Structure 1
Amino acid sequence: MNSATIDSISLQMQPFLDCEQMKRLREVLKCAITPIVDLSKHASQDLIDLFIEAKQVEGCSFKTLDYYRNTLERLNTALRKPFTQVETSDLRAYLTEYEQKRNSSKVTIDNIRRIMSSFFSWLEDEDYIVKSPVRRIHRVKVASVIKETFSDEELETIRGNSGSSRDLAIIDLLASTGMRIGELVRLNRSDINLNERECIVLGKGNKQRMVYFDARAKLHLSDYLGQRTDDNPALFVSHARPHTRLTIGAIELRLRKLGETLAIQRVHPHKFRRTLATYAIEKGMPIEQVQKLLGHARIDTTMHYAMVNQTNVKASHRRYLE
């Protein structure tokens, strides 16, 4: 007997059962007639490997895949039982113990919960288990914190003290496109269209998208590229020979030191991205277009990045409510 049999039985019973009853019937039938998976052939580590392969096919980055693998392997070590026998209480106990022992934030705990949910839902879809034990574990409530953006004065101060044409071009590109730092370091010279002030970036999930930069970024990019004497195809390279492609760490370190010198708090690549999103929303750009500009798969992610400026809220209150 197979899934076709289950579908046939469900179809015949549909007139007599409501949605919840039908759902329960399918679970019972699946448990009763689906061949039990041979656990000796599908150990927990094997299931992790298969899940990672599935996520890789979906286009997840290597960084994301490593995070998934490390999280699930820690879980596997702690549980000491096959994933196919794990219950909701086991996972709740693991999350509680993890938070207490490591003094982890609610954000970290919810990230672990999301990975567990994705993994056990995959096990359910692949018929390794009947029902995901994570279904009854709800999203962890996280305090909403308004993250800082750069003011116009801070951006001008950073630009004015960047120190080199390369660093100035990096700052302008980050500030005007809102691209991720990982997208920036992967750019090649051939990806840049100076005449149209646009470039193609490779985002999360290996998805390409077009981003746009302003006239100031164009001028500084032209100036920087005009000074280059190397033949490296990378858009941004080190000053010292052999002029290797800049890494994420190198740019983050340069920006952090610049912020410390200028007494500007938390100068990092992602703050430029958040600043662009916030300014775009405040100036009336439709949220769907901001979403496309930033390369977000979900619009609520865009709303999380684009925090409303509190000064504008105060001005609107005085205008409309006083």
Structure 2
Amino acid sequence: MSTGEEREREDEVLDAFARHLDLQRNLSGHTVRAYLGDVASLLEHCREVGVRLHEVDITVLRGWLLAQQRRGMARSSLARRVAAVRTFSAWAARAGHLPADVGARLRSPRPDRHLPVVLDVPDAGRLLDAARERADEDEPAGLRDWAALELLYASGVRVSELVGIDIGDVDLAERTVRVTGKGDKQRVVPFGVPAGRALTAWLDRGRPRLVGPRTGRALFLGVRGGRLDPRTLRGQVHRLAAQAGVADLAPHGLRHSAATHLLAGGSDLRTVQEVLGHASLSTTQRYTHVTPERLRAAYTQAHPRA
């Protein structure tokens, strides 16, 4: 088989794998794109080392991961690549593209224990005050960013979830928002009065001025009228953090801060898990800080021999 024919066959296999992920695994569009990119990277490595798809074995897979690690890829990204290739390997073996499920023996690296920046309550207030002060200029982008940051902190949603919210997902009367998380799982999350006030200002005075042919039902819009790009919001969070004089952080830092402040304020882990949309309680435990003071107070209150 020529090189061109081999590439054409690989493209056909990737297309079939994409259909499998989309139709049978019910994964989000973001995850499907990430998995396809990971498998495409593996196939590129195979071409570099002169191995065809049907010749892939565990040694080739480990060599590919080692090459990624030497290029400085984070453990979290390596873990996702392992998950992608294990999924691909199992599917490809069933579909006859591989002689066996060679990825079954592939082990995922231990995840990094690095946690994102967490703002304390006063600094979180300063960041949101900076966003509100910019919104006082009554420019659509400023009103949008104020509403977006208030909702990020109030609800603890992921930035990918935030930009995917439609107008119909927001109930201002009940102060709740419906978000679609990983695996297309939906949950309803409450938000407070400040976030409701910012959202009302955005809907009344900001969003109508950005509406265009590409708008649809998106809640948050970019300057051209389409759905807000997560990269735009990330840049705005960095700029507002600098303006407020607080630690630099990404939108995920607001999610992590919200979870930490909920726990410190008395919420139990199960409630925080539900708000964040974590499938596993262990994930919630990793994403939240438990202070020694809170541990001591909980112990004193609950233990009969405290």
Give the TM interval when normalised to the shorter protein.
0.7 to 0.9
* 2:20 counterpart of 1:50: no
Query: How far did residue 149 of structure 1 move?
Result: 1.3
Mark the structure with the bigger radius of gyration. Answer: 1
Q: What is the aligned partner in structure 1 of residue 106 from structure 2?
A: 137
Residues 219 and 307 of structure 1, relative CA distance in 2, 3 Å threshold: same
Candidates 179, 182, 191, aligned match of 2:160: 182
Quote the Cα distance in structure 2 between the aligned partners of 1:288 and 1:221.
28
Letter in 2 for 1:262: A
Q: What is the aligned partner in structure 2 of residue 267 from structure 1?
A: 249
Quote the Cα distance in structure 2 between the aligned partners of 1:120 and 1:293.
34
1:156-175 mapped onto 2 (5 Å cutoff): 156-162=125-131, 163-164=134-135, 165-175=143-153
Q: Percent of pairs identical after alignment?
A: 23
Quote the Cα distance in structure 1 between the aligned partners of 2:78 and 2:221.
38
Residues 225 and 95 of structure 1, relative CA distance in 2, 3 Å threshold: closer
Q: What is the aligned partner in structure 2 of residue 83 from structure 1?
A: 53
- 1:187 touches 1:235 (CA, 8 Å); kept in 2? yes
Letter in 2 for 1:55: L
Partner SS for 1:135: helix
- 1:194 touches 1:218 (CA, 8 Å); kept in 2? yes
Quote the Cα distance in structure 2 between the aligned partners of 1:252 and 1:183.
13
- Compute the TM-score of the two structures, normalised by the length of structure 1: 0.74
Quote the Cα distance in structure 2 between the aligned partners of 1:45 and 1:237.
35
Structure 1 unaligned regions, length at least 5: 1-38
Quote the Cα distance in structure 1 between the aligned partners of 2:86 and 2:159.
28
Q: Deviation string for 1:170-214 (max 9, x for gaps)?
A: 221111111122222232333221111112223333333212111
Q: Deviation string for 1:264-312 (max 9, x for gaps)?
A: 2233211111122223334443433333322233333333322434675
- Compute the TM-score of the two structures, normalised by the length of structure 2: 0.77
* 2:63 counterpart of 1:93: yes
Deviates more, 1:251-260 or 1:218-227: 218-227
- 1:43 touches 1:82 (CA, 8 Å); kept in 2? no
Q: What is the aligned partner in structure 2 of residue 287 from structure 1?
A: 269
Q: How many residues align?
A: 280
- 2:165 touches 2:218 (CA, 8 Å); kept in 1? yes
Quote the Cα distance in structure 2 between the aligned partners of 1:44 and 1:130.
15
Q: What is the aligned partner in structure 2 of residue 59 from structure 1?
A: 26
Letter in 2 for 1:161: A
Residues 174 and 43 of structure 1, relative CA distance in 2, 3 Å threshold: same
Quote the Cα distance in structure 1 between the aligned partners of 2:112 and 2:171.
42
Candidates 85, 90, 93, aligned match of 1:121: 90
1:211-290 mapped onto 2 (5 Å cutoff): 211-228=189-206, 229-230=208-209, 232=211, 233-237=217-221, 244-290=226-272
